[in-house]
Amino acid sequence: MPNDHPNSGILFHNDRKRPGDLRDRDYDGSARLDCPHCGEAFEVWLSGWRKEGKRGPFLSLSLKPKDANRQPALPAANADADADIPF
């Protein structure tokens, strides 16, 4: 399913989850990520697991490139590299 919104994704309940398999994801979907440095967009698989923590339930996420052979371009290393990262 294509995602037309940059830096966003969608998760669906995994109705194929095997009962008793704790490693099998509870949710699956995809996301589109846009690199702020080179402007290139790439698609990733998105997986989610419901978990319980000290502060209550939460969702743990994993992202994997749809094209395993493709690596996003990294900005050139320089002394001011951290100055360009917005927080």
For the segment 17-46, what is each residue's pLDDT rounded down to a tens digit?
988 887 899 999 999 999 888 989 889 999
Confidence of residue 54 (pLDDT cuts 50, 70, 90): very high
This model's pTM is above 0.85: no
Residue 35 · residue 73 · CB < 8 Å = yes
Tell me what the pLDDT averaged over the chain comes to.
82
CA distance 31 to 41: 10
Cα–Cα distances in angstroms (integers) from residue 26 to residues 19, 23, 34, in the given order: 11, 9, 26
